């Protein structure tokens, strides 16, 4: 019997890995891509998310080819936070995080995640998911406290909704897991559509429980 194709997650994000694990899926390998994520001139945030997710998948495929590991499912994603057409940068410096929070304060913003899956036969499929999020008006104490927490580091838009910033959310329309970094419904639909057994570990857990 031929070996099962590997599942490769083209991301180093612990949040995306945790979300897949939550859905009962464990990637065989992690192959994060080191890309320039600067938006192109006049590029819409949704186009940026789709372009970068595809580029990450293509980078992982090139690496897999060099490693000669055989056919694989390659899954990638990119999340972009925007106010209008303005892309909120990933915050690496406290000044960036402060500027992001001040911009998001009391406003509705959009979170786009482009998800890309390349199947073992090379078929490429993409989905774009949009969630609208409204923050309360942030006080100076809110901003200073959040900056002190450090949760903003490396996060799209300068915040992590699954952490302290969840208390800033007044309203959300759309997928919560999309805002965390990987929309599970759409991701699992892509995997199932390409023939990946998304329930494999679920069944294995049931068998182990019956044998215990």
Active site residues: 78
Contact call for residues 184 and 22 (beta carbons, < 8 A): yes
Tokens 């909120």 sit on residue:
88
Q: Can you list the pairs that 142-148 forms with residues at least 24 positions away whose Cβ atoms lie under 8 Å?
A: 142/101, 142/168, 143/98, 143/101, 143/102, 143/105, 146/97, 146/101, 147/94, 147/97, 147/98, 147/101
- The C-alpha atoms of residue 203 and residue 200 are separated, in whole angstroms, by 5
């Amino acid at each position: 019997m031929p070996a099962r194709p590997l599942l490769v997650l083209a991301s180093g994000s612990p949040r995306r890995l945790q979300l897949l694990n939550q859905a009962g899926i464990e990637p065989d390998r992690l192959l994060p891509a080191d890309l320039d994520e600067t938006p192109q001139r006049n590029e819409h945030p949704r186009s940026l998310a789709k372009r970068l997710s595809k580029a990450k998948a293509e980078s992982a495929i090139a690496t897999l080819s060099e490693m000669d590991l055989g056919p694989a499912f390659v899954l990638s994603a990119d999340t972009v936070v925007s106010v209008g057409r303005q892309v909120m940068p990933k915050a690496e410096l406290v000044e960036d995080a402060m500027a992001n929070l001040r911009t998001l304060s009391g406003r509705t913003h959009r979170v786009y995640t482009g998800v890309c899956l390349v199947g073992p036969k090379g078929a490429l499929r993409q989905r774009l998911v949009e969630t609208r999020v409204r923050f309360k008006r942030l006080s100076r104490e809110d901003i200073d406290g959040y900056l002190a927490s450090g949760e903003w580091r490396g996060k799209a838009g300068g915040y992590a909704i699954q952490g302290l910033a969840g208390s800033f959310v007044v309203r959300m329309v759309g997928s919560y897991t999309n805002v965390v970094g990987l929309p599970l419904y759409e991701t699992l639909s892509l995997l199932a559509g390409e023939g990946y057994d998304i329930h494999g570990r679920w069944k294995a857990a049931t068998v182990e429980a019956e044998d215990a």
